[in-house]
Amino acid sequence: MLSIKKVNIENFKVFNGKFSLILNENLNILVGNNEAGKSTILEAIHLALSGLLNGRYLRNELSQYLFNNEIEKEYIFSLKTDKPLPPPSILIEVFFNGKELPLFEGNGNSDKEKGCGVSFKVEFDNEYKSNYDELIKTDVKTIPIEYYKITWRSFARDGVTSQSIPIKSVIIDSTSTRFQNGSDVYISRIIRNDLEEKEKVDISQAYRKLKEAFRIDKSIQAINEKVNAKANISDKTVTISVDLSTKDAWETGLTTFLDEVPFHHIGKGEQCIVKTNLALGNEKSKKAGLILLEEPENHLSHTKLNEFVRSIKENCEGKQIIISTHNSFVANKLGLENLILLHNQKVTKLSDLKSSTQDFFRKLPGYQTLRLLLCKKAILVEGDSDELIVQKAYMEANDGKLPIEDGIDVISVKLTFKRFLEIAQKISKPVAVVTDNDSNYKKKVKKKYKEFWDDEFIKISASKEAEYATLEPQFVYANREQLEKLCEVIEIDSSKYNTVELISSYMKKNKTKWALKVFNSDEALEYPLYIKNVIHWCNA
């Protein structure tokens, strides 16, 4: 099966400098924050294989907005210094698997190695060198895109076209509202890819006949005679007819119907399912079909989504699929082993993790993993009461806002901190650990997390006071000046529970209960220092 092995992206949209991603032969699930570049990867691959961006040929629509913002800034800034940078270029390289395509083999790629694939470049056209030299003497504010060209080649440095590239990609993007014109570009593309040459000829012939029938229809002829009788429109004969001039006219003139409803009138979610299933059902095995699915969870109810994911799973054999998703359900159902985590232009695959960690995450419902990936910062806590207290402490410090509203996720991970930290380290995700000292700070905290202490993205927070081993005594100790108020909040008798020890032991027996009471209360309480430190870290 023809498939994509790797993609290199340079200076395109969110990618500053060179980004490289190795893909599985079958299913790939891209997960990451909103700005991580998931969609950009899909767009880039599709662009390099089809020349299309947002359904239009990029050749006619070059703009400086394609470039990475910082790259553009650096370039513009450098022009004012005595070390001006050359005009930046965008590069997308798609490497193919297998040995069946010698025509695409060569070392014309930025890895400077033998490979098989295509390279798509938006670069300065040296023909305009002299114009450019004049231009940079003036105050340049944007990349001079009018002097740019597209260079689209195989790794053998031979020009390619979308027809000559054997891997056909379909990008299915249900979020888009860009394609509202009569016929749907995707659907005709998918259908066209599946048709034999002869069938294509037949369909356009049939379409032609239909139009000719229109032309020779008596009523149309009568109208044309009438039009011509008023001869002063033009010296030439004027007739009403249909345009038969383009050979692929059927693609724009014909519309697909579902239960007699035109395709573009059915729901977005249903459209997405139909398109995907069509692409999956595409039987031309010679032409590999690459399916790029952007956030399929949009516009789909949970039942539909379930159905949809099942259909992908059942039919994806022999097809390469790249899905971007925010949805933990999608990712989990399709198999975490296919997960590719994106974060700050770094890529982590589950297969890169220690095998025991891999196993651990395979067993997890998947949701937790994704929470870690998708948040801006994460606070890992041991159990439910820790979770509630940390959240409440955050709200106290931030005018009642929940941490999640700021993209900060508080995740209860039981005793599996280190598994999460391993992923966090791989993707440079800011993560704080709020943990008990279990009366042995040195062993339970210092030593246990020794490989993470120096990580700039990871903060380990625990109290050093050995006599307060867990959250409960810590919390009571923090409020030792106002024990009565504390009792009031957690609704116990302050005359009976009048020492730190008594209150702590009550709380230990009623873990979630007291924490919920604190969480729901309007009274301001004190929080242990090691928690306050983490809140401070959140806001830093």
Partner 1 sequence: MPKNRLIIAAAGSGKTTFLVNEALKNTKERILITTYTEANEAEIRNKIIKKKKCIPSNITVQTWFSFLLQHGVRPYQGALNDVLWDNDIKGMLLSEGQSAKKNGKDGKQLKINGYPQYWGEEHFKKHYFTSDWRIYSDKISKFIFNCNKETRGEINLRISRIYPHIFIDEVQDLAGFDYEFIKSLFKTRSNILLVGDPRQVTYLTHPSRKHKQKYGNGRIKEFIQDNCKSLLSADSIDETTLKKSHRNNKQLCDFSSKLYPEYEKTEPCECEHCQNGDINHQGVFIVRTKDVRRYLRKYKPVQLRWNKRTKTNPSFPTYNFGESKGQTHDRVLIYPTKEMIEWLKNNKSKLEDGTRAKFYVALTRAKFSCAIVYDYTDSDNIFGVVKFKRSVVK
Binding residues vs partner 1 (CB under 8 A):
99, 102-103, 105-108, 112, 114, 155-158
DSSP helix/strand/coil, 18: strand
Block residue for tokens 């000559």: 164
- d(CA 173, CA 181) in angstroms, rounded, equals 16
Q: Does an H or E element contain 277, and which?
A: helix 268-281
Nearest distance in Å: CB 96, partner 1: 14
DSSP helix/strand/coil, 190: helix
| Nearer to partner 1 (CB atom), residue 120 or residue 514 | 120
- d(CA 389, CA 404) in angstroms, rounded, equals 14
Nearest distance in Å: CB 116, partner 1: 10
Complete DSSP assignment for 399-457: TT--GGGGTEEEEE-TT-HHHHHHHHHHHT--EEEE---TT-IIIIIIITTGGGTT-TT
Nearest distance in Å: CB 115, partner 1: 11
Which residues fall within 8 angstroms of residue 112, CB to CB, at 6 or more apart? Answer: none
| Nearer to partner 1 (CB atom), residue 101 or residue 483 | 101
Nearest distance in Å: CB 197, partner 1: 10
Nearest distance in Å: CB 368, partner 1: 46
Nearest distance in Å: CB 147, partner 1: 17
Nearest distance in Å: CB 184, partner 1: 30
| Nearer to partner 1 (CB atom), residue 115 or residue 473 | 115
- d(CA 205, CA 211) in angstroms, rounded, equals 10
- d(CA 122, CA 135) in angstroms, rounded, equals 19
Dihedral pair phi/psi, residue 192, rounded to 5°: -60, -45
CB 27 within 8 A of CB 276: no
Structure tokens of 467? 């006599």
Residues in the chain: 540
Structure tokens of 43? 């767009």
Nearest distance in Å: CB 99, partner 1: 8
